[in-house]
Structure 1
Amino acid sequence: MEQDIEKLKYPLGKFQKLREISQEDIDHWIKIIAEFPQRVKSQVENLSEIELNQQYRPNGWTIRQVVHHCADSHMNSFMRFKLALTENTPTIKPYAEDLWAEFSDAQNYPINDSLLILAGLHGRWEQLLKNLTAMELEKEFIHPENNERISIKTNIGIYAWHFEHHLAHIMVAKEQRERFGASDIISE
């Protein structure tokens, strides 16, 4: 049972950092970043309010919370990229994403504004990333939770994984609903 929950929590597995990151890897990840808003929109645009409240795993977020989380997370990440590009190895500020997902704007608010945020933000993000120099790709920030230094190029990969990870959550939630119906896996 615990293994099943872990599979639902990480349907693609956990992020695996590459030892060597090629320009092809970066280009592929930027493409994922550019396409994410349309891909997520196509997964959620025709869902009912009941379907948006479907969880992807027991005690997990609803589809609605995942969409709002992506807007929150991606805004934070975009700022982290900018900080790393403009400061000397800054320590970034983490945020309590689980607590943010409990606010009314994540639990009850329509997803359209978050979809608009994602579309605009990812357009700018793609523009920024496609024009980084080799030296800028090596710039780093420090994540204070583990004092890890993370390079821009590694963070591009982390966020490409993050997009695919949450897109998979949405797809799993939709699959769960189709397989089991509305029953008790709907969030209360």
Structure 2
Amino acid sequence: MVFGHKIVLDEVIRQDELDFIKAINDVSKGEIPEDTKNLILRLQRPLPPGDDPIRLCGRNFDCDIFNACKLMEMNGVSKCYQSIDEDVNKLCSKMRVPKLLHLKIGCPIMLVKNISSAPVNGLQGKVVAMKEDSMTIDFENDLVQLGKETCTVYSSIDKKIVATRHQIPLILSFSITILKAQG
């Protein structure tokens, strides 16, 4: 079914630079006046040398495809970490912690669960070592050993946990969703 309405959002929540807001609105309407063009040109600059920039996608599916392709392009041997699921049902497929986690040394990752007080959800790093059931991640020169954690889906209707997954709470982060990038 096609959604036959056009919705225009008119409240800006996380941005207070009026010139930038105007430029985004102009681009979304397909109108590029001279002041918007000049602003965009002023913001244009070469990327710094080193790591590739993170690609932003609108859907997790698009991120998953891009991340898998980038991982295959990397040199080295891939290791797969398989989750242990309990009460498996369709809700497990909705978990952001993957059933199968394919990684290589040096690949960029993002933590998708808070771990105690230090590593937090959204923290990005690189895989520096892999063992059978754990790995070492470099979070900006802070080496952290990670193993499988328990992630759950809670049903507010049934008032109970309806799915459990034991997995290392990481995703590849060559690409992330726009929503995840916003924090």
Q: TM-score, normalised by structure 1?
A: 0.23
Q: TM-score, normalised by structure 2?
A: 0.23
Larger radius of gyration: 2
Larger proportion of strand:
2
Larger proportion of helix:
1
